[in-house]
């Protein structure tokens, strides 16, 4: 398949969707992003990468970071599953209510409460953000990948809800490290800036059943399968059912407008367009992935 031509066709097909939706406006640094941008990259398991549009422009990865932190934690051991579940929550990503009913154990690692637990677990093995940056820089081949300090400062100022989640879990003894330290790491991870190229290259280990770009193993085959499974069921806020219906791939979105999706055995795809739908998923991004699986037949179903 000519993936460069495929990407050109997808970009043409979704052009009417680009700029639709609303950019995230909970912090000024995201509210200012020009909505009429679109990029898409495909990183194949053999190492080749193809892209279209703004595929080399860095954007705020936000909750897409949650996939990588989960993988890095599971690379140590699978003890984190005693502290976080793997069921869709059906509640907004930053909801507090379920946590009280379920004794401080978050439903899954991709809602904020679950990601805070994962970051806490990763921080137990050393500096969590440094470990994440080291991994992303190596996989993408871009050593300049870093935290956007303006986004991080702004996130930290508006982190009351996440702070509340973390302290609430601490009250159930589901935090190992001091809350301020975990929160700082979490905020910094969300504030990393990367391009579609970098995200796709960094996520392709999930298409390679756990093998990194240099051939070394990050995750065993089962752990890689599990990360993909949780992405499918919980990766796109409370629209994971709709995403599975339209796209049919494991995916994880972020409020910066990025979505990373995995075609096991073939490739990782990252698409970015900042306009979000009411659930927080990129309008043009979901449309592009919908076209991608329709045109290629590369859904998991
Ligand atoms: N920094 C955001 C938060 O934790 C991440 C939101 C997201 O991309 O889902 O509120």
Query: 153: which 2 tokens?
Result: 């400062």
Work out the average pLDDT over 157-170: 96
What is the 3-state secondary structure of the chain? CCHHHHHHHHHHHHHHHCCCCECCCCCHHHHCCCCCCCEEEEEECCCCEEEEECCCCCEECHHHHHHHHHHHHHHHCCHHHHCCCCCCCCCCCCCCHHHHHCCCCCCCCCCHHHHHHHHHHHHCCCCHHHHHHHHHHHHHCCCCCEECHHHHHHHHHCCHHHHHHHHHHHHCCCCCCCHHHHHHHHHHHHCEEECHHHHHHHHHHHCCCCECCCCCECCCHHHHHHHHHHHHHHCCHHHHHHHHHHCCCCEEECCCCEEEEEECCCEEEEEECCCECCCCCEHHHHHHHHHHHHHHCCCCC
Per-residue pLDDT, averaged over 61-85, amounts to 98
Please give the pLDDT value at position 92.
78
The average pLDDT across 257-278 equals 98
Residues 79-106 have a mean pLDDT of 91
Instruction: Pick from 165, 254, 260, 274 the residue to mutate for probing ligand 1's pocket: most ligand atoms within 8 Å of its CB.
Output: 254
- Whole-number Å distance, alpha carbon 255 to ligand 1 midpoint, is 6
The first and second tokens of residue 46, run together, are 């053999």
Q: Tell which atom from ligand 1 comes closest to the C-alpha of 64.
A: 8
Ligand 1 neighbours (beta carbon < 6 A) = 62-63, 93-94, 112, 155, 162, 190, 254-255
- Token readout for 207 is 């298409």
The pLDDT-based confidence of 25 (bands split at 50, 70, 90) is very high
| CA–CA distance, 184 with 174 (Å, rounded to integer) | 17
Token pair, residue 220, equals 């065993």
Check pLDDT > 90 for residue 27. yes
Spatial CB neighbours of 258, under 8 Å, sequence gap ≥ 6 = 59, 60, 61, 62, 64, 196, 199, 270, 271, 272, 282, 285
Q: Which atom of ligand 1 is nearest to the CA of 187?
A: 1
Q: What is the mean pLDDT of the chain?
A: 97
Which of 28, 94, 282 best tests ligand 1's pocket when mutated (most atoms within 8 Å of CB)?
94
Contact 293, 6 (CB under 8 A): no
Q: Which of 261, 210, 256 is nearest to 232 (CA)?
A: 261
Is the pLDDT at 95 greater than 90, yes or no?
Answer: no
Contact (CB, 8 A) for 286 and 243: yes
Strand 146-147 and strand 59-60: pairing?
Answer: unpaired
pLDDT tens per residue, range 113-136: 999 999 999 999 999 999 999 999
d(CA 176, CA 51): 41
Known catalytic residues are 63, 66, 186, 237, 255
Percent of the chain topping pLDDT 90: 96
Domains by residue range for the chain, with CATH:
3-296 (3.40.710.10)
With 0-12 / 13-18 / 19 or more C-beta atoms within 10 angstroms meaning exposed / middle / buried, residue 143 is exposed
Tell me the pairing of strands 39-44 and 267-272: antiparallel
Given a contact cutoff of 8 angstroms between Cβ atoms, the answer to whether 78 and 87 are in contact is no
């Amino acid at each position: 398949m000519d993936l460069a031509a495929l990407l050109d066709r997808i970009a043409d097909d979704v052009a009417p969707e680009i700029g639709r939706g609303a950019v995230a406006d909970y912090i000024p640094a995201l509210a200012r992003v020009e909505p009429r941008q679109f990029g898409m990259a495909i990183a194949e398991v053999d190492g080749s990468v193809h892209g279209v549009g703004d595929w080399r422009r860095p954007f705020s990865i936000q909750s897409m970071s949650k996939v990588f932190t989960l993988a890095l934690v599971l690379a140590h051991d699978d003890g984190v599953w005693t502290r976080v579940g793997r069921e869709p929550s059906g509640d907004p990503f930053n909801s507090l209510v379920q946590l009280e009913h379920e004794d401080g154990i978050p439903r899954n690692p991709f809602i904020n409460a679950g990601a805070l637990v994962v970051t806490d677990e990763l921080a137990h093995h050393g500096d969590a953000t440094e470990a994440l940056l080291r991994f992303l820089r190596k996989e993408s081949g871009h050593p300049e990948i870093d935290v956007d300090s303006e986004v991080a400062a702004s996130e930290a100022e508006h982190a009351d809800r996440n702070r509340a989640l973390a302290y609430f879990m601490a009250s159930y003894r589901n935090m190992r490290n001091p809350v301020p330290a975990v929160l700082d790491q979490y905020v910094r991870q969300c504030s990393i800036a990367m391009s579609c190229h970098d995200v796709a290259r960094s996520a392709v280990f999930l298409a390679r059943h756990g093998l990194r770009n240099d051939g070394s193993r990050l995750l065993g085959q089962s752990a890689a399968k599990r990360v993909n499974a949780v992405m499918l069921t919980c990766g796109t806020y409370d629209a994971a059912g709709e995403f599975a219906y339209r796209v049919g791939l494991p995916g994880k979105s972020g409020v910066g407008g990025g979505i990373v999706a995995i075609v096991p055995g073939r490739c990782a795809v990252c698409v970015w367009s900042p306009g979000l739908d009411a659930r927080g998923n990129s309008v043009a991004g979901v449309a592009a992935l919908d076209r991608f699986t329709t045109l290629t037949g590369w859904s998991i179903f």
